Amino acid sequence: MESLRKLEELQTTIMLMQSHGIITSSSDHHSARFLANLVLFLLQPYGELDLAKKTALLSEYIPKISAGFLEKASVCLSEKGFPQQILVKDSQKNSEDKSTSDLLPTNFEEIATIGLDAMQRANSTIEDFCRSYFMFHGMDANNPQALFKYLPILSFTESYIYQLDSLNEKIVQAPSNRVKSSEEEENLRLIAKFTNVFVSDPFRSLVGLLGYHGLLTERIKEEFKHGEEYWALERMLCCALVNRKEISVEDVIKAIHLKSFDYRVLNLLLYQLRGEQVDELHMDFLSISEFLVEVADDLFDYEDDVLDNNFNVLRMFVRIYGASAPTMLAKYITEAEEKYNMLLKTLDPQLSLNYQRRCEEATREGGNMSKHPLGTWSIPPLITDEELYRSNLLNPK
């Protein structure tokens, strides 16, 4: 209702300005809205200033406030940690290709732009985070009051991360060094712009926003760095696979551990939102759990990730170890499971029970119908010639 009231107020002001000849019906829509908002702002009470004094101030000082001054002010305030403009971009207004219109703002490093697709993709992560992590904060994910109290910050942060992830996917899925069509050449032009996003501090706007609200900590900033490092590793590793170059197992293991940085950001944010100290035992336990979940997801998505040239731990192990990949991966899984079970025993008994139930629930929802409550590790058939695999699927004739 409040939004509708403000919209009605804005429209009434525009019509009033038109009736007095200040603007015309053919005036630019954005200009009209800007001027209407300015009028509404001037009508707000401000100390001892009456309307006459406000008008006099505008007449005296507006000519001195140039576009150059505003640009300098924007840079200065941004460096001080004040939030930049946050907007949801209307993809229909962008004249570029629809598949990229939600991804590339004019100055990404200055404006936190989130597309609808990123918000939709972030939804499943937010749901899983609430159902799996709230219990570590003594919160009930089924309590709407607890959920919606923190949802705006959590959802915005995850959507922002997904927006960056979408940009990174565009870079990773760029065509290889083969001869390119004109359409692919145009895509590469956009890819070059996407790459600049990651060179120019991609989390800058989000860092400013969280800092302004008193939620930014050094550990959250460190996780943002981990996110940038993961995306860089993903680009490097996937490019190496497409171009048949060597990769190291150290880089692969580092990438799979960094991949869940967004969950850790959300968890650290929830500690800040609740004004609580970080529980290091819980963070250590969840870190191991995140690793096992990422590996399980990669096994489930293996064929799709090969087709789309996405980072996938099994893909990388096949490139390094060939037919021995399942055996080598099983060693890492076994080591992680041993640490997981050891840390699970240190948790509060009720929390341990609740988390195990949540894991069983997630396993069933994922379609694993095995008798084992947490499912079983199943290695899909290995794809040793990825280029042939893609060719057969994309060109079945």
For residues 166 and 103, the answer to whether their CB atoms sit within 8 Å is yes
Q: pLDDT digits over 258-269, tens only?
A: 999 999 999 999
Q: What pLDDT score was predicted for residue 296? A: 93
Which residues are CB-contacts of 216 (< 8 A; sequence separation ≥ 6)?
A: 81, 207, 210
Average pLDDT value for the chain = 82
Question: Quick one: pLDDT band at residue 186, thresholds 50, 70, 90?
Answer: low
Q: pLDDT digits over 40-50, tens only?
A: 888 888 777 88
Q: pLDDT digits over 129-181, tens only?
A: 999 999 999 999 999 888 899 999 999 999 999 989 988 888 787 655 444 45
- The percent of residues above 70 in pLDDT, for the chain, comes to 78
Lowest pLDDT segment from 9-18, 92-101, 201-210: 92-101
Q: What pLDDT score was predicted for residue 31? A: 82
Residue 312 has phi, psi (to 5 degrees) of: -155, 125
- Is residue 199 pLDDT above 70, yes or no? no
The candidate with the shortest Cα–Cα distance to 132, out of 124, 198, 13, is 124
What b-and-e string marks burial along 105-114, b requiring 16 or more CB atoms within 10 Å of the CB?
A: beebbbebbb
Name the pairing type of β-strands 112-114 and 86-88.
parallel
For residues 118 and 102, the answer to whether their CB atoms sit within 8 Å is yes
Q: pLDDT digits over 367-390, tens only?
A: 654 444 445 788 999 999 999 998
Question: Quick one: pLDDT band at residue 18, thresholds 50, 70, 90?
Answer: confident
Confidence (pTM): 0.69
- Is residue 111 pLDDT above 70, yes or no? no
Q: What pLDDT score was predicted for residue 396? A: 67
- Is residue 246 pLDDT above 80, yes or no? yes
Cα→Cα distances 189→35, 237, 395, Å: 37, 22, 26
Q: What pLDDT score was predicted for residue 9? A: 77
